[in-house]
Amino acid sequence: MKDRMEVFLSMFREEMPEYICRLERKALAEEVPIIRRGTQDVLRYFLRTGKPAKVLEVGTAVGYSALFMRECLPESSRITTIEKVEMRLTEARKNFAAHDPDGRIRLLAGEAGEVLHGLAEAKDTFDFIFLDAAKGQYLSFLPDILAILAPEGILISDNILHEGDVLESRYAVTRRDRTIHGRMREYLQELTSHEQLETLCLPVGDGMTVSQKKKRA
Ligand code: SAH
Ligand code: MG
């Protein structure tokens, strides 16, 4: 039933430019873990309606989602995206050179935790943050994320169900995944109870949350 719903609804999905579809096929063929269709729908909705001027992405991979987001934003918006793996950075630079001619995307190379800390210290702020890297570290990123997220800004966190593992009992997952399992549950608990955030949890893609930072009272 879920598959039939998905197929039916996909008929109403906006077509993206050909190069986006090409990059998506290439990434999938090479097993680069890019955002899924349902996740793309949610991102597109919030970017088109909210028109954030400054967007931050954690986890560039080869730049697929950054380019996808660029297509959903006004020309005046800017995207900053963070990646640490050299092979991915090389591929992302190539894709941005080809598909971001006016330089709306800024790629920062480095460990996300350190880069986020640097942005917070520089008092940089963003209207929209897409968290899609280092699933075990979301909770430890949160203080810096909250520092750089503007009031009424949106934080979207991807892969919060970790292929469904997060639903399972702690004992049903392998030891390697148990740490992520526990940390992701803690992260969900924190997001949904945080006094500065209003959070929506969605069983879309690999599970995602949409949080809005409250206006200061
Ligand atoms: N957002 C991309 C997919 C990102 S996959 C898309 O949808 O197109 C997650 C990426 O995060 C991987 O490329 C991985 O190398 C990177 N990553 C993981 N941990 C990181 C960390 N601690 N700092 C920076 N990048 C990290
Ligand atoms: Mg993801």
Of 34, 57, 84, which is best to mutate to test ligand 1, by the most ligand atoms within 8 angstroms of its C-beta?
84
From CA 148, how far away is CA 80, in angstroms rounded?
13
Residue 188's SS3 state is helix
The pair of three-digit structure tokens given for residue 156, joined into one six-digit string: 């979207």
Question: What confidence score (pLDDT) does residue 73 get?
Answer: 98
Question: What confidence score (pLDDT) does residue 41 get?
Answer: 96
Atom of ligand 1 nearest to the CA of 81: 1
Task: Enumerate residues 6+ apart whose C-beta is below 8 A from 68.
Answer: 16, 20, 35, 40, 43, 44
Question: What confidence score (pLDDT) does residue 144 get?
Answer: 98
Question: What confidence score (pLDDT) does residue 176 get?
Answer: 67
Tell me how many helices (H) and strands (E) the chain has: 8, 7
Binding pocket residue ranges, ligand 1, CB within 6 Å: 33-35, 59, 61, 64-65, 82-85, 88, 111-112, 132-134
Question: What confidence score (pLDDT) does residue 171 get?
Answer: 78
Task: Report, as ranges of residue numbers, the positions in the chain whose pLDDT lies below 50.
Answer: none
pLDDT tens, residue by residue, 38-87: 999 999 999 999 999 999 999 999 999 999 999 999 999 999 999 999 99
Question: What confidence score (pLDDT) does residue 99 get?
Answer: 98
Question: What confidence score (pLDDT) does residue 91 get?
Answer: 98
For the entire predicted model, the pTM comes to 0.96
